[in-house]
Chains A and B, each alone.
Chain A
């Protein structure tokens, strides 16, 4: 079921022209489907769970450091663009750097697939809890084939 919904969304968004009404409607629909997963999430972390392990702490730190560096560069591009707007292309933001590629169909399709995959990763933990509550643990493996469902 999840695969059908994601595939349908991917096909519709990939075929819709950029900045079109269809693209906007498709994105709003995806957001409306995803938002409830943000509200209903996993249970509080039990004491002694793997979330406190050194490997997890290292990974959280490494991911946070990577994202902070990217955000600082983006911020610098924004500030530079405000100070010297006529030369903002000298210090492009991520949006400016990626924009020419997204006007082409295939790179845009790749971006859409990556974007949907990231969204699946984000809603997966709450889907796990819903599936477990319904006694349908198999649905979790469908969402995350690496088998992390039995990881906790």
Chain B
């Protein structure tokens, strides 16, 4: 069963890559990521939330022992 969620994560990663590429090749169809961030980050609450979440991702994966799996 574990292949289902991993396939979903990989598909999401692939979709994100496609959005980045299409945004660069056809910005008239799908805006580039930079323009999306310009729009989203105009709101201070969204900015604070996204930057704190981004920082937490780094902490979660690199510094905080949040999983019980053995090293």
Contacts and interface: CB of A to CB of B under 8 A. Distances in A.
Q: Is the interface of A mostly helix, strand, loop or mixed?
A: helix
Interface residues of B, number: 51
Contacts, number: 173
A111 B58 CA distance: 9
Looking at chain A, what size class is its interface with the partner chain? 35 or more
B5 A121 contact: no
9 contacts: A23-B62, A50-B35, A59-B30, A60-B40, A63-B33, A69-B12, A90-B2, A95-B66, A122-B50
Interface of A: 13, 18-20, 23-24, 27, 30-31, 34-35, 37-39, 41-42, 44-45, 50-51, 53, 55-56, 58-60, 62-63, 66-67, 69-70, 73, 76-77, 89-100, 102-103, 108, 111-112, 115, 118-119, 121-126, 144, 146, 148, 151-152
